[in-house]
Structure 1
Amino acid sequence: MTSPRHLLAALLCLGLIVLAGCSSTGGGRGGGYYKDDGPGSDIPADIEAIPDAVPRIEKHAAANFRPYVVFGKRYVPVSDERPFRQEGTASWYGRKFHGKKTANGETYDMYAMSAAHPTLPIPSYARVTRAGTGKSVIVRINDRGPFHSSRIIDLSYVAAAKLGLIGPGSGQVVVEAITNQDIRNNTVAPPKTMPIPPAAPPPPVQEQPLLIARNGPATPDALDALQHDDGGLSGNEPLPVADGQSPGDPLGQAVATVASGLYLQFGAFSAMHTAQDLAQKLNDQIGTMESRSAQVQAGDKLYRVQIGPYSSRTEAVNAALRIQQQTGLQPVLAQR
C-alpha cells in the first residue's frame, strides 16, 4: 500500500515533468514560437482550404521605402519592381499579436495569409517555399520584422501551418518577391514541385539588447535638426541618443527588459516650450494615423516628448515604424 508521503513525492515528480515539458514548448525561440505566444483558440477546421494571398499591384507612399533603424541596425526597403530572393530561417507569430496593428497600420490576422519582412515593400507579395519539401505558399507582406539576425521572415499562423512549421516553430525557407511586373504579366511562378535541399542552420548569434532610454543628463536639443525645406521631419537623421547614453556607446549598456509602460521618446529638453513645440509638430503630422498623441513628460529638470504607453516591444516598434514613415523621425524606446 502506497503511503501518503510516497504519493506526495510521486505527484511532485509528475508536476516537475509537466513543467519541464511546458517550458520547452513555445517558451523560447529555440524550438517554438515567441514567448507567451502560440496558437489561438478558434483555429479554422480546414487550414489547407484557406487560399493563398492573391497578388495585386498596390499603391505605396514614398515613405514606405525610406531606410529605418531598429535596435541599432539600419534597414533599407527594396523596390517592388526588382527581383528579390532570400534563403534563411522562417518563424511565425500568433495569438499574442492577433488583432494588433501592423507596421503599416493594418490589423494583424493570424488566420490570413500574411507575413512580416524587414525590407520587402509593405504591402507586397512573396512566395515562401519550405526547403526539403518544396511546399510553397503566397503571402501578403503587411508588417515589419523579425528584427533578429537568425531569421528572415515571420509568417502568420495559417501560412506557417500550411508549410508545416507550427510544431518546430521555425524552418528553412526560400523567400521570392512577386514583383509588380510579375503581376502585370500574370507570370506569378507556380508552386515548385521539386524539393529544395535544406540549408545548413546558421550559427547562433547573440541578439542585441533592447535599447531602453534612462533618466540622466539632458540630451542636446534636436528641434533645429527637424526643420527642413519640405517643412517636415527628415528621414536621414541618425538614431536619437537616449538619455544617459554617449554617442560612442550605441547600446548604452541598455537593459534588455520588456515591460508594460513602454513609450516612444522623441527628445528630452531643458526648455518646456521647445518640448511643447515638438509635441505639437508630431501631433499635427500623426493625428490621422496614430491613436496615441505626443505628450510632454516633466521630470528631473527635463521635458521629454513621448508617445505611449505600449504593452509590448513589438507594438511599440510597429508604432515607431508607422510614425517614422509619416514624419521621418526615429524615436528611442523609453520605460517609465
Structure 2
Amino acid sequence: MSVTRPLLYGLIALLLSACGGGAYVDRDGAPGRDVDVASIPDAVPRHEPRSRYGNPSSYEVFGKRYYVMDSSHGYAERGIASWYGTKFHGRRTSSGEPYDMYAMTAAHKSLPLPTYARVTNLRNGRSIVVKINDRGPFHEGRIIDLSYVAAKKLDIVATGTAPVEVVALNPGQSEPQLRSASAAPRPAVMPARDGNPDLYLQVGAFSSRHNAERLSHRLQDIDLPGIEIQQGYSDQRPVFRVRIGPLASIEDADRMAESLTRFGIQRPHVVVD
C-alpha cells in the first residue's frame, strides 16, 4: 500500500514523539540553565480543531496497538506521570507542532490531540493546566508525559515520576468527576493524602470473579504479598481487578512488573488510590 508524503511524515513524527524513540541526542534531561517556572503561565483551554495528523483511529508503537479516543469529554484518571526534555526539544510532535520543553504541554497515548487537562501531583497537591499535543509515554505504567516546565511546576523533575490525577478540560464545561473502582463519585481533584497516595500494581481485570480468583491463586503460588481482588464497574458492568499492594514506591512497582513478565504476566500497570 502506498503512503502519501504527509502521512509518512506524520507517522515518523509519531514514532519520534515523547518516549516513542528517536536518536540525535543520546540522553534526555533538563536544560543546562535554571528556569523560573513561576513566570510561565498555565495553558488556557480553548476550542481548537483536531490535529490533522495526530488522531489516527489507532497506531502501533513497539509492537503494541493504541486506540485514540473519539472525545476527551468526561476523562479523569489517576496514574504515574513522567517528563521529557532536551532530547526532544524542537522536534515535531505527533500533532505537528514543534516540542517546546519550556511550554505547558504534555503527551498522552489515547486522548484526542489537542486536549487540555488539569494535572495534579497527588504527593504535594500542586496543580497545573497543560495542552496535550503529543503521543506517549510508551513506558508501561505511565499515563502522561509532561514537558520539562510542567514537570518542574509539579516538582517531579528530580524524582522523574510522580502519582498524578489527570482531568480533561473542555471550554465552557465543568471538570469531570473521577470515579473510584466502586463507582462512587469523588471530587475530580483531591488533595494528596498525607503526601503519599497508595500505589498498586494491577495485573488483570475480568468480567468473571472466577477468572480473577484463578489469577489470584496463581500469584499466591509465586509468593507475592498483598494480593487482592477489587470489584468495580466499567460501562455499568461488574469488573474484578487483581491487584498487588500497596507498594512502597513507583520503583518497586516497576521492578515487580518486570519480574512478573517471567511468569507470563504481561503489561501489568500501576494504579493510584
TM-score by length of 2: 0.56
Instruction: Tell me, yes or no, if structure 1 residue 140 matches structure 2 residue 131.
Output: yes
- CA deviation string 1:27-66 (max 9, x = no partner): xxxxxxx97111112442x212211000011101576151
Identity %: 46
Letter in 2 for 1:145: G
Please give the alpha-carbon distance, in whole angstroms, between the structure 2 residues aligned to 1:188 and 1:169: 27
The equivalent of 2:38 in structure 1 is 48
Which of 137, 144, 148 is the matching residue for 1:153? Answer: 144
Question: Is the 8 Å Cα contact of residues 65 and 121 (structure 1) preserved in structure 2?
Answer: no
1:95 maps to 86
- The structure with the greater share of residues assigned to strand is 2
Find the aligned partners of 2:73 and 2:136 in 1 and give their Cα distance.
20
**Structure 1's 84 and 65: CA in aligned 2 closer, same or farther, altered over 3 A?**
farther
Distance 2:105 2:58 in 1: 22
Q: Distance in 2 between matches of 1:65 and 1:74?
A: 12
Aligned in 2, Cα 1:107/1:159: closer, same or farther, shift over 3 Å? Answer: same
After superposition, residues 68-87 of structure 1 pair within 5 angstroms as 68-87=59-78
Let me know the Cα RMSD of the aligned residues.
Answer: 2.6
Q: Could you tell me how far apart the structure 2 residues matched to 1:51 and 1:191 are? A: 22
- How far apart are the structure 2 equivalents of 1:100 and 1:85? 29
Paired residues for 1:243-262 under 5 Å: none
Which runs of 5 or more structure 1 residues have no equivalent in the other structure? 1-33, 208-336
Q: Does 1:198 align with 2:197?
A: yes
Query: Cα gap change, 1:59/1:198 in structure 2, threshold over 3 Å: closer, same or farther?
Result: same
Q: Which residue of 2 aligns with 1:20?
A: none
Alignment size in residue pairs: 169
Structure (1 or 2) with the larger CA radius of gyration: 1
Q: 1:131·1:199 contact (CA, 8 Å) conserved in 2?
A: no
| Aligned equivalents of 2:82, 2:118: Cα separation in 1 | 15
- Specify whether residues 119 and 48 from structure 1 end up closer, same or farther in structure 2 by C-alpha distance, changes over 3 A only: same
What are structure 2's unaligned runs of at least 5 residues? 1-24, 177-186, 202-252, 260-273
Q: CA deviation at 1:188?
A: 5.3
> How many angstroms apart in 1 are the aligned matches of 2:188 and 2:152?
17
Once the two structures are superposed, what CA deviation does each residue of 1:45-89 show, in whole Å capped at 9, x if it has no partner?
x21221100001110157615111111212111133521111111
CA gap 1:99/1:43 in 2 versus in 1, 3 angstroms: farther
TM-score normalised over the length of structure 1: 0.46
Residues 218-297 of structure 1: pairs in structure 2 closer than 5 A: none
